[in-house]
Structure formats: C-alpha cells, structure tokens
Amino acid sequence: MLNEHDVVARVARIELRELRLWVREGWIKPAEGENGPVFDDLDVARIRLVCDLRKEMALPIDAMPVILSLLDQLHGARRELRDLAAAIDAQSPEIRQAIVAAYRTGQETRS
C-alpha cells in the first residue's frame, strides 16, 4: 500500500494536487488509512490510465466520468464472463455441449 507521496514518486506524470483532485472527483478510489488515503497496485494502474487519457490523449475533464464508467462496466462484464466460463468448464461434457449448442443457436437467430 502506498501513500500519496509514494504514488507521486512512482508515477512521474502526476503531481500531488492532481492526484488529490482525481480522488475528490471519484476517478480514483483509494482505501482510507490511518494517515490518509492509501493506494494499491490497481489504484496505481488506474492513475496511469487517467494520466494517459488526460495527458496523452487530451481527453476533456467533463468526459472523464463517462469514459471511466464505461471502462469500469467493461471490466465488470469481462469479470462476469470469466466467472461464467469457469462455471461452464466445471460442468460435465454433455452439459457443456448443450450450452455451446444453445449459444450457437442464439447467435444464428440474431444474425
């Protein structure tokens, strides 16, 4: 776990005031430690993403909540699909084949 100063030292593209703004805006959601916010590896990855979006891609501030929300939804959907795939893999071969057949039938009907 890292404090604000550790994060700024690790992510050279961000200043302390920016980090605090991004936390205030809810773009970054660190845990609360005894001496203030603490950041884990996922928080640092998200900070790097926000740096890329803001500084490299020049994304406007008002677009950030929308983009981050969409990215969060995408990651959530991927997590659910992984869980679903694991549940399917845990089934017998007959049930897995039935699921695949039903899936393909659904795809053909939508085409």
Are 13 and 28 contained in the same domain?
Answer: yes
For residue 40, pLDDT over 90 is answered with yes
Domain count for the chain, please give it.
2
Q: What is the dihedral of CA 100, 105, 110, 111, to 10 degrees?
A: 100
Express each pLDDT in 55-87 by its tens digit: 999 999 999 999 999 999 999 999 999 999 999
For residue 109, pLDDT over 90 is answered with no
Are 30 and 67 contained in the same domain?
Answer: no
- Boundaries of domain holding 47: 1-59
Question: What mean pLDDT is reported for the chain?
Answer: 95
Are 50 and 2 contained in the same domain?
Answer: yes
Q: pTM surpassing 0.85?
A: no
Q: Which helix (H) or strand (E) holds 21?
A: helix 16-25
CATH number of 44's domain: 1.10.1660
Are 47 and 9 contained in the same domain?
Answer: yes
